[in-house]
Structure 1
């Protein structure tokens, strides 16, 4: 129910350039299945969760007209500006479709029932397997075969049915499915489920282990990133100090968040351009406010204490700049000395020719 009336962005697991599809969540059916409206005004049921094999990434918009920090507007297939009457009709249609989906679920049809049928074991006579809850996981002491890799037919952490090998905790096998595709599996206890999901993140020093927020989406606060982040040696070399951890600490202490810091950065850029324009402004401004007066009334001011520049980086830049200045100075002196020597040699040659 947490997503009802929210605007979400879905990136489907398809090849090609990134494209976010905006959806308006109209109603909740059951589990992670919701009734959504698309930009083309289609209304249908869709599973809104990272365990949906068709979905690569999901984002919740902070508000109807605001994009998450990591989403570019040019990559969004956005919803149109619907009128109040359009929204009312869409919500009525969403409630009707939700009731149909619930009735279909009870009768053994529809997307929820189809998902349950797909999760049923292929071995005859075995008990039906319940779907893994992305927030709660599954019961401790229960063993399941989970995909330990991502390929064309499975996602990492997805339960794989139809495995005939005995369930032995932490055992690993290569399973060949009915379609002939092979997948690497691991037998995972319910109490180790979330630790298992975090394994890929632990292999990459740039990514923190996954934590799920109350609506089941991965999320980390800046304070957690600042406290848990460590600097790791990488294969490429870049001169100067590593400042990422300092910058994250700065953002956490500042407590503005990414959007607030972006707004401050935008104002600083506008201030810099207004300063350049002010220098070129004509003296006669007529009856209008000059740019300097606009800046004064607007309250835009540059405060160096609020700029996110690591002191170690400033020291490094200062040293490198001094090195380059000294090198340029020495080159200039050497060039002047060569020029003076050349002129002296030329004058000496002229005297020897004309005693």
Structure 2
């Protein structure tokens, strides 16, 4: 008894503390346990990745692969957090604040930082943040050509000029660390665009065939009228 109340005590080792909390006090998979620092809500960026647990949802509303987890892992490998990534990406790509999408990208990274550090959400399980991170990837993808130009500077003077893809192949990677675009999402987009292009092509051919058939039919009608 403690202060007149029945009390249950269980001894748990520090090593098993996280597993114990998850078992005894399960949370909604969209949030993480609140961490405090000097009495204020604060979670280090790297804790976000370590404590993240991606869950499958049968009614997930978005098409294509879920890329939020890949983005969090990517940012976790970079120095600092989302806002540091924004500054690093902008500097390495030699992009100006006035360029298209840069202020939006900065805002998206600030939202992600606050969501993980203060709100302490598991953004990998939130469709809203999947959309947010896809938008951030879209902006970075738009500047890939800029990255290609920078990576090719100085080549061609002393030897053969290698393409951006050839350089990344030599390094054993499929993308440049200069920008955040999930390979699985990029493959999905390419396949979708290809399918849309094929569909548009087939529809155009069908329209042309119908137009030619109608034109041929009109000619036959006119010819019959002349013969009569």
**TM-score, normalised relative to structure 1:** 0.36
Residue in 1 that maps onto 2:187: 315
Quickly say closer, same or farther: Cα 1:197–1:143, change in 2 above 3 A: farther
Displacement after TM superposition at 1:349 (Å): 0.4
Q: 2:205 aligns with which of 330, 333, 337?
A: 333
Counterpart of 2:226?
A: 354
State the alpha-carbon separation in 1 of the partners of residues 72 and 11 from structure 2: 32
Indicate which of 221, 234, 238 corresponds to 2:44. 221
Contact 1:197–1:210 (8 Å) recurs in 2? no
* Deviating more after overlay: 203-212 vs 259-268: 259-268
Note if contact 1:251-1:257 (Cα within 8 Å) is conserved in structure 2. Answer: yes
> What is the number of equivalent residue pairs in this alignment?
147
The question of whether the paired residues in 2 share the 8 Å contact of 1:211 and 1:218 is answered with yes
Summarize the alignment of residues 203-218 of structure 1 with structure 2, pairs less than 5 Å apart: 203-213=27-37, 215-218=38-41
Q: Which has the larger radius of gyration?
A: 1
Counterpart residue number, 1:158:
none
2:89/2:178 contact within 8 Å kept = no
* Aligned-partner Cα distance in 2 for 1:324–1:272: 33
**Conserved in 2, the CA contact under 8 Å of 1:198 and 1:209?**
no
Summarize the Cα distance change of 1:272–1:240 in structure 2 as closer, same or farther, 3 Å threshold. farther
Return the alpha-carbon distance in structure 1 between the equivalents of residues 34 and 63 of structure 2. 31
Q: Please give the alpha-carbon distance, in whole angstroms, between the structure 1 residues aligned to 2:75 and 2:187.
A: 21
8 Å contact from structure 1 (residues 246, 310) kept in 2: yes
Aligned partner (choices 138, 143, 147) of residue 302 of structure 1: 147
Alpha-carbon distance in structure 2 between the residues aligned to 1:330 and 1:233: 36
RMSD: 3.5
Gaps of 5+ in 2: 101-145, 149-175
Report if the CA contact (8 A) 1:240-1:316 is conserved. Answer: yes
Bigger proportion of residues as strand: 1
TM-score normalised by length of structure 2:
0.53
Alignment match, 1:257? 81
